[in-house]
Structures are given as structure tokens and as C-alpha cells.
Amino acid sequence: MSVPLRPPVPLLAALFLALALLLTGCTSGPAPAKAPVGAPGQGAAGPESDAASVRRASPEPEPSPAEIPGLGPETRAEIPEEARQAFVVTGEGEDANRSSAVLYAREDPAEGWVAVAGPWDAHNGMKGWTDHHVAGDLRSPTGVYTLTDAGGRLPDPGALLPYDEHPRFAVDGVGFFGEPLEGSFDYVVAINYNRTEGVTPLDRTRPLGLERGGGIWIHVDHGGPTQGCVSIPENRMEELLRTLDPAMNPVIVMGDAESLGR
């Protein structure tokens, strides 16, 4: 009797493997898990994205010190670094004689400039403003000027700047619109345009020459435009005199709005 032949072992293993593939399909294991949306490295804009993580880790930038509103880079550059008080007089227009005044201070350099008084109504030269003042042009000189000296016909109201009380500050007559000028120089602060610092406002020394004018002051308003000075109400003059501090190196920043914005 003949004995039936058995397939070799390797062939049987191959047959069983083929049968298993037919029964289970083409998959040989579980599908890979999808990366979660917004996972690092996936480029998705989710709440846990790389960009958001970087933003959270980065420190907030320090705020810049406050600047004086309305002043452009050229005007700001004229203000001395040591100045910590600025009396800003902004004209309504190049040819206008009405303006507004605000006193700023920067006691904390990190915070910058802060308004401490004003706005106050003010007058300036009858014909407005100029960047090249000459005697008799009836315009106020634009620019940034130091304030170092004060005085007036009336007794010192508590000024911090050196104060010269003198009867020569008396004035009479009428202004451009017929308003009385009496009392206009009861209180004054000299604007250091074409003058020597550290002397009475009555000093008539003119370093730029007489033709460039002089005697430009902040003084008591008489209800109308000036020859070239800046004027504010009497009670505001008293307040200004008691506030301007030589230790803070005060300046006046003056001109029409367009000029100051440059």
C-alpha cells in the first residue's frame, strides 16, 4: 500500500499565512493616531499654538513716557533734556491772536509729561506768530525759550522764580481794541527771547540787536491782543508764578498749532 505524500512544513506555513490575510483584509495593525489639532509642530492655529505659547512667555513691553500732545518731533527736540516744566501756548492759527495755554511737568521721567494746570485762555501778538520776530511786527516769536526771571508792579505773590517788584512795571493807555492796558504788568514772567538771563525783566539788553525786538513777557491779560507777548488772566498769572520752579528748569513752548506740530 502506498503512503500519501505530505506537503513540506514551509509550504504549510505559507498556506496558513495566505488564509489569514484573506480573512483579515490588508490591515496588519491599528491605524496611526491623528495628532491633536493645534499640537506643537503641526502649524495649526489653536489655543495652544506655538505662536501663542511664545506670546505668553514674552514679557509685556514697557509703556513709552508720555509726550506733550500737539508737539511734533522738531519742537520736542528743542525742549532741553533738563527741563521738567513746560508752559505750552498754542495759537489758533499763524495769523490769529488767540491761543490756549497748558502747564506740563515731568517729575517722573518714566511717566513723561503730565498736564498740571490749564487749559487757560490766552492772547498773543496782534498779527499772530512768526519764526523770525523783528521789532514792531506785532507777532509773537515761535519756539522754545527758558523762563528764569519774574517781576511786577504788585508785591511778590509767592513766586519761586526771582521776583523784581518795581513801579516801572506800571502801564497805561489802551490796547488795539480800545481796552485799558492798566494792570497788564502787575505780574510778568520774562520769556528769554533776545534777553540776558538772570536779570530783571526790565533789563533792556538785546543780544540779537534792537532790530530783533525784545521785552517779550507772559503778563496779565487786558482783554485783547498784545504787541508780541503772551497774556493770561490775572489769577492764572498768580498761579503760574507760584508754580514755575527754577529747580525744574521751566521753559515756554509757544507758536501756532501747525508750527508746534512739526
Please tell me the distance from the alpha carbon of residue 145 to that of residue 3, in angstroms, as a whole number.
126
Rounded to an integer, the average pLDDT of 18-32 is 41
Q: pLDDT: is 187 or 35 the higher one?
A: 187
Are 186 and 170 in contact by the 8 Å Cβ rule? The answer is no
Are 216 and 229 in contact by the 8 Å Cβ rule? The answer is yes
Element (H, E) at 54: helix 50-57
Per-residue pLDDT of 81-115, as tens digits, reads: 999 999 999 999 999 999 999 999 998 888 899 99
Cell numbers of 56, please? 505668553
Q: Which ranges in 58-185 belong to alpha helices (H)?
A: 73-78
Q: According to the model, what pLDDT value does residue 108 have?
A: 87
Please tell me the distance from the alpha carbon of residue 88 to that of residue 246, in angstroms, as a whole number.
17
Are 38 and 46 in contact by the 8 Å Cβ rule? The answer is yes
Residue ranges of domains in the chain, CATH in brackets: 73-260 (2.40.440.10)
Please provide the average confidence, as pLDDT, over all residues in the chain: 85
Weakest-pLDDT range from 20-24, 127-131, 191-195, 204-208: 20-24
Per-residue pLDDT of 131-160, as tens digits, reads: 999 999 999 999 999 999 999 999 999 999
Active site residue 229: yes
Q: pLDDT: is 140 or 35 the higher one?
A: 140
By CB atoms closer than 10 A (0-12, 13-18, 19+), residue 220 is buried
Backbone angles phi, psi at 237, to 5 degrees: -60, -45
Residue at 176: amino acid letter: F
Per-residue pLDDT of 176-190, as tens digits, reads: 999 999 999 999 999
Q: According to the model, what pLDDT value does residue 59 have?
A: 60
Choosing from 123, 133, 219, 222, the catalytic residue is: 219
**What is the share, in percent, of the chain residues with pLDDT greater than 90?**
73
Grid coordinates 497788564 are at which residue?
A: 184
Weakest-pLDDT range from 31-45, 82-96, 228-242: 31-45
pTM across the whole model: 0.77
Active site residue 166: no
Q: According to the model, what pLDDT value does residue 203 have?
A: 98
140-141 and 129-130 strand pairing: parallel
